[in-house]
């Protein structure tokens, strides 16, 4: 478990699932208030997060025992990633999925600390890059990743001709 000031980051356990889903519900509510339509009430869903937890790839951020953020960190790339010219195409990479923060904890560096955790995990695993994608209309996330020095390399469609996602990459090692 990694401690960040008042916050702890650790692997999620199955008994965290309901609280994680409440955190996503809060995050989606915040996204809707900001007119971001990337997620809705059907995604991310309980089955997806449960699978992440079972595979031991889902990390949670807790503040005073309340789950305030979460992220899946693994090596699974969507098949559409093959359409991007990755700078580190020959190196192993970790992939960020479903980064979220409880709405009333936005702007408290929770997302930053989860991303820092992902970067440290990448170093521990002696991997060179982190990759991720985000919805083209999620200006908050795009600005966030650019501020963290992630480089936008192009875009993909996760469903044919529906909703463009920008792909980002950052060299870690």
What pLDDT digit, counting tens, does each position of 49-91 carry?
999 999 999 999 999 999 999 999 999 999 999 999 999 888 8
* Sign of the torsion angle spanned by Cα atoms 7, 18, 48, 23: negative
Q: Is residue 59 part of a domain?
A: yes
Q: Is residue 158 part of a domain?
A: no
Mean pLDDT of 35-41: 88
User: Token pair 């990390």 is at which residue?
Assistant: 59
* Sign of the torsion angle spanned by Cα atoms 75, 53, 60, 141: positive
Structure tokens at 56: 């031991």
Q: Is residue 142 part of a domain?
A: no
Q: Give the DSSP letter of residue 88.
A: T
Its pTM stands at 0.93
Nearest to 148 by CA among 124, 21, 122, 43: 122
Q: Is residue 160 part of a domain?
A: no
Q: Is residue 138 part of a domain?
A: no
pLDDT mean across residues, the chain? 94
For residue 100, what is the domain's CATH number? 3.40.630.30
Structure tokens at 11: 């692997």
Q: Is residue 52 part of a domain?
A: yes
* Parent domain of 66: 2-76+86-132
Predicted pLDDT of residue 1: 47
SS3 assignment, position 83: helix
Number of domains in the chain: 1
Q: Is residue 108 part of a domain?
A: yes
Structure tokens at 126: 């002696």
């Amino acid at each position: 478990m990694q401690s960040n000031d008042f916050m702890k980051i650790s692997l999620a356990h199955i008994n965290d699932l309901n609280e994680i889903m409440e955190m996503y519900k809060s995050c989606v509510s915040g996204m809707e208030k900001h007119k971001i339509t990337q997620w809705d009430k059907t995604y991310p869903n309980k089955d997806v997060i449960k699978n992440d937890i079972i595979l031991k790839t889902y990390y949670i951020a807790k503040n005073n025992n309340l789950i305030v953020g979460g992220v899946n960190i693994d090596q699974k790339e969507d098949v559409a990633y093959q359409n991007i010219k990755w700078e580190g195409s020959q190196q192993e990479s970790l992939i960020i999925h479903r980064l979220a923060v409880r709405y009333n904890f936005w702007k408290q560096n929770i997302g930053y600390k989860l991303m820092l955790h992902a970067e440290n995990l990448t170093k521990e695993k002696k991997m060179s890059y982190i990759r991720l994608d985000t919805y083209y209309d999620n200006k908050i996330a795009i600005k966030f990743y650019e501020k963290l020095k992630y480089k936008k390399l192009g875009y993909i469609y996760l469903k044919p001709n529906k909703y463009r996602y920008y792909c980002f990459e950052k060299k870690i090692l």
